[in-house]
Structure 1
Amino acid sequence: MKTFRFFILSILFCLPMAGWGEYNSPLYLEKTTIYIGDHPLLVEVANTDESRQRGLMFRKKLGENEGMIFIFPNEEYLSFWMKNTLIPLSIGYFSKDKMLVDVYEMAPNQTQVLYHSTRKVLYAVEANPRWFAKRGLGKNSVLKIENRFIGK
């Protein structure tokens, strides 16, 4: 009887893991501090296809000066959307020479609107709503990041 009870409890314990999809599993990314102008931002580095596709999906909060930097292998026109992203975000697009090109305010969990870069870019930075505006960062603000971070 004790063996049967242990077996049932084991199954019940494992049930919540069934269907634990790829987007619910943790994705551990390297963190670094970047600067935009003179303003530091602690970011997770998304520089692979997997990490760029996941982005900040399913996050419930973001620290005041935290975000994510997306680094691509080649300059291209980029479009982001907010599918499965539960928090509002600001996004800044940066050219290969690390100059800010565009900034958008993105609404949470919607797929109707795409946020397009107006030029070819190599980097995108997501942060809390109005992060760029609150710091007076506009076009041509400079991104500072270690050269060892590249898109793959």
Structure 2
Amino acid sequence: MKSLRLSLLLAFFLLPWAGWGEYNSPLYLDKTTIYVGEHPLYVEVANTEESRQRGLMFRKKLGENEGMLFIFPSEDHLTFWMKNTLIPLSIGYFNKDKRMTDTFEMLPNQTKTLYHSSERVMYAVEANKGWFAKHNLGKFAVLKVESRFVGK
């Protein structure tokens, strides 16, 4: 009986840590499918300051057609970097009209290179390195996302 109580007590304290190594993030993020052009991408939605700051940091892997959609409350010149990001990524910036303005290939776990949008933008999409090029997506590609997702 004593060992059962100890096991239950340990489970109570350790279960919240289950899965911690994979994402290392206590944040719950909405997930949805977006489209860039006609190409679907299953994304987590980072639309709060906290979720945008965390981004894909500490992730060890990302599925082939998975990524993260960053939504900001208003248009601005954005800059991303790869601090504590362990996997190589591509980023696409989109203006308020959801038209792509820039794409960049980003190297993992470095802070010296900054990736600046050339225009004021409101959205950024991160996917596995080469995702935009693989699908022939360039300037003016259209982002399709449900209107219920807004930047906060």
* TM-score calculated relative to the size of structure 2: 0.85
Q: CA RMSD in A?
A: 2.1
Moved segments of 4+, more than 6 Å: none
Shift of 1:24: 3.7
* Percentage identity across paired residues of the two chains: 74
TM-aligned CA distance change 1:25 to 1:147, over 3 Å = closer
Aligned residue type for 1:86: L
Where in structure 1 are there 5+ consecutive unaligned residues?
none
1:117 partnered with 2:144: no
Shift of 1:27: 1.4
Where in structure 2 are there 5+ consecutive unaligned residues?
none
Report Cα offsets for 1:113-139 as digits up to 9, x if no partner.
000000000000000011000000000
Query: Which has more radius of gyration?
Result: 1
Partner in structure 1 of residue 144 of structure 2? 144
Counting matched residue pairs gives 139
Partner in structure 2 of residue 46 of structure 1? 46
> Contact 2:24–2:59 (CA<8 Å) still a contact in 1?
no
Report Cα offsets for 1:7-44 as digits up to 9, x if no partner.
xxx7xx98xx8xx9xx9442110000000000000000
Report Cα offsets for 1:93-122 as digits up to 9, x if no partner.
000000000000000000000000000000
Give the 5 Å matches for 1:48-87. 48-87=48-87
1:97 partnered with 2:97: yes
